[in-house]
Amino acid sequence: MRIFKSIKLIFIITLLIGISFSIANAKQKVYHWKLAMTWSKNLPPFSSTVYKFVNDVKLMSNGKLIIKVYSKNQTKSPFGIFDMVKNDKYQMGHTASYYYKSKNPSTVFFTTIPFGMTAPEQWGWFYYGNGMKYMEEVYNKYNIMAFPGGATGNQMGGWFKKPINSLKDLKGLKMRIPGLAGEVMSKLGVKVTNIAPGKLYNALKSGSIDALEWVGPGMDISMGFQKIAKYYYTGWHEPATSLSYFINKKEWDKLPLYLKAILKDAMKANAFDMYVQNYDMNARAWKKMKKQYPQIQIRTFSRTILDAMKKADDEVLAEYASKDPMFKQILQDQRKYLKMVREWTKMSDFLYLKSNMYNQE
């Protein structure tokens, strides 16, 4: 009898705890946020990761934080994410930090820089080095909290209609290549242009540009560049390319701790997911591309060309650093971290790949 009494008591207590939890849950405020992204609705792995992120947040918060996504076609302002989040028009955004170089040159460090860190190296810097600390410092004055928001990993150097055998071949070449890499190419005599993604295919086809870079096979294949240009150069300019989540600081401060924790973990998990998704997309797309367009040649720029690019890159970075103390400080910190972390990359992945040729037919 006593056992039955105890079981009954445990049952009642469990029921009461359950009821009080659901009352507490029902009492918790529901937050409705709007997220503006630079991308169209269907641009995997960028848009797909954002949709997965908002769904994760909804499930993990038990419906207490609902985020509605607005694509570039809805906001009509793909590169206005910075201002729209800053001014609280949208509580949140997903974009690439380096698009806002003209507002603050230090924003480039949170995306990628030529000859810089790879994605895993950059994650080390973000999460366990000084990366996120600097990210907060740079964005704080704009009323924005910024977080790593996924990475493409190493990007391809681009599609070229003619081979680039010497520095002479770069002179007068018309190429779409944005950001710091564009400034580097410009120093080497390239006529750099930036063209909206939707117009790139026709620009390359008609000859109004001779070359362009986009991302890698996974995202390039649907753009169709493989049908027009035969030389596909390996990367030097965007070794990591992290995207970013922006959150309006006042809205962030209004959230209870548990929702902040959910957001942080969901952003981090989906940052990793984007990298993995793109790795898989690249591998599958390249297999398909190679079969359909066997004329494509994978090329790597010569040592002479890469040395000239590196020299120009150092000059570009030094110019920014001389004008901006924060830029200088972050550059020095990244270089210090890269020096340390690259030793390990060389000992581990690099030498592993170099010595293990068994799966590299």
Residue (102 or 295) nearer to Ca ion, CB: 102
Site string for Ca ion, 288-327 (x = CB under 5 A): ----------------------------------------
Alpha-carbon span 251 to 144, nearest angstrom: 10
How far apart are CB 332 and Ca ion at their closest, in Å? 26
Scanning 79-87, 133-141, 165-173, 233-241 for contacts with Ca ion by CB under 5 A, the matching segment is 233-241
Q: Which two tokens stand for residue 90?
A: 């949208």
Q: How many residues bind Ca ion (CB under 5 A)?
A: 2
Closest CA to 190 of 179, 203, 178, 174: 174
Residue (48 or 155) nearer to Ca ion, CB: 155
How far apart are CB 238 and Ca ion at their closest, in Å? 5
Scanning 100-108, 141-149, 153-161, 274-282 for contacts with Ca ion by CB under 5 A, the matching segment is 153-161
Residue (94 or 249) nearer to Ca ion, CB: 94
Site string for Ca ion, 41-80 (x = CB under 5 A): ----------------------------------------
Residue (80 or 114) nearer to Ca ion, CB: 114
* DSSP letter string, 3-19: HHHHHHHHHHHHHHHHH
How far apart are CB 178 and Ca ion at their closest, in Å? 7
Alpha-carbon span 157 to 136, nearest angstrom: 30
How far apart are CB 355 and Ca ion at their closest, in Å? 31
How far apart are CB 78 and Ca ion at their closest, in Å? 15
Is the separation of the CB atoms in 114 and 309 below 8 Å?
yes
Residue (33 or 275) nearer to Ca ion, CB: 275
Closest CA to 129 of 335, 327, 290: 335
Alpha-carbon span 225 to 296, nearest angstrom: 11
Scanning 89-97, 147-155, 168-176, 281-289 for contacts with Ca ion by CB under 5 A, the matching segment is 147-155
Alpha-carbon span 86 to 247, nearest angstrom: 8
Alpha-carbon span 257 to 122, nearest angstrom: 27
Residue (81 or 181) nearer to Ca ion, CB: 181
Distances (CA, A) of 165 to 67, 77, 162: 50, 39, 9
Residue (56 or 213) nearer to Ca ion, CB: 213
Is the separation of the CB atoms in 227 and 295 below 8 Å?
no
Residues that bind Ca ion in the complex, under the rule CB under 5 A: 155, 238
